[in-house]
Homo-oligomer: A and B are copies of this chain.
Amino acid sequence: MDIQKILKQYRAGEIDLTAAEENIRSMGFLAVSDIAKIDTYRCKRTGVPEAVLAEGKKTKDLIKIVRAQMESNGRVLVTRVSKKKLKALQSEFEFIENGKSASVCIVHDGKTKRKENGGLVAFISAGTADISVLEEAKMTAEEMGCQTIEIYDVGVAGYQRLFLEADKLKDAKPDAVVVAAGREGTLPTVVAGIIDAPVIGLPVSTGYGAGKSGQAALLSMLQSCSVISVVNIDAGFVAGAYAARIANRMEKLRRK
């Protein structure tokens, strides 16, 4: 279409040969970037919010990056924030939301609202130690417009809690379920046997001794006899975004 326009302009003598070529060339590059420009428009295209990993960044660099992202996208999710960095962010930005756990927060411009109508994601954790990572997953999903339900602190040794809440879980009909677990990491396997929504296993870096730091949990989930998929240890953001990706599409079909 646009090419036709340029061709016509050139034929009509409105632009000269060089201009015509240049215009087409710049389009060509747009064509290239259309395929490649994954990054800048990622947020808009796939609904995954911009996320900044605070860990390993100097506070002043963090603020700079957060500001840039916030100004360009309206909202930005900051993950793995220490208490100290959270304070720095709070004194720097006017609009900041943080969950129960200090390790994640959202900085926004006061105008851009979070997305809505993103479907429903359930979050289940095996113990109190997993909550901080699960919180990161949940806030990510919420940024992607999802409604969330949570069943916290369902330990391996407490299947009955899960069984008792099984109907509640089934009745809610979540589009996807994120299950966090450390140590031996069996909870996702059990959940996947109870509900037929896609289950995302989220290994958490708890436990000491052999298999510590979430290694046993990760291997356990990879070896699971149930049908689950897995993200990296402590990768709350990925788990939340992946679940929301699924839920977003389901909600979209529902609203058609």
The interface of chain A, by Cβ under 8 A from chain B, is 3-4, 7-8, 10-11, 17, 20-21, 24-25, 27-29, 31-33, 35-40, 42, 45-48, 55-57, 61, 65, 128-129, 155-161, 163-164, 166, 175, 183-186, 189-190, 193-194, 196-198, 200, 203, 205-212, 214-235, 238, 241-242, 245-246, 249-250, 253-254, 256
Q: Which of B32, B158, B175 contacts A31 (CB 8 A)?
A: B32
Q: Which of B35, B193, B219 contacts A32 (CB 8 A)?
A: B35
Q: Which residues of B contact A218 (CB under 8 A)?
A: 209-210, 222
**Nearest CB in chain B to that of A207: its residue:** B223
Q: Which residues of B contact A200 (CB under 8 A)?
A: 229
Q: For the complex, what is the distance from the CA of A25 to the CA of B32, rounded to whole Å?
A: 11
Q: For the complex, what is the distance from the CA of A29 to the CA of B161, rounded to whole Å?
A: 12
- A-B CB contact pairs (8 Å), 18 listed: A11-B11, A29-B164, A32-B164, A36-B164, A39-B157, A40-B160, A55-B208, A56-B206, A183-B224, A184-B186, A198-B249, A209-B232, A210-B215, A210-B222, A210-B223, A211-B219, A212-B223, A219-B220
Are the C-beta atoms of A11 and B10 separated by less than 8 Å?
Answer: yes
Are the C-beta atoms of A232 and B227 separated by less than 8 Å?
Answer: no
Q: Which of B3, B4, B35, B209 contacts A194 (CB 8 A)?
A: B35
Q: For the complex, what is the distance from the CA of A166 to the CA of B32, rounded to whole Å?
A: 12
Q: For the complex, what is the distance from the CA of A35 to the CA of B47, rounded to whole Å?
A: 27
Are the C-beta atoms of B216 and A223 separated by less than 8 Å?
Answer: yes
Q: For the complex, what is the distance from the CA of A165 to the CA of B31, rounded to whole Å?
A: 14
Known contacts being A216-B223, A233-B210, is A197 close to B17, with CB within 8 Å? no
Are the C-beta atoms of A7 and B4 separated by less than 8 Å?
Answer: no
Q: For the complex, what is the distance from the CA of A129 to the CA of B207, rounded to whole Å?
A: 21
Please give the distance in Å from A229's CB to the nearest CB on chain B. 4
Q: Which residues of B contact A207 (CB under 8 A)?
A: 223
Are the C-beta atoms of A219 and B224 separated by less than 8 Å?
Answer: no
Q: Which residues of B contact A4 (CB under 8 A)?
A: 17, 21
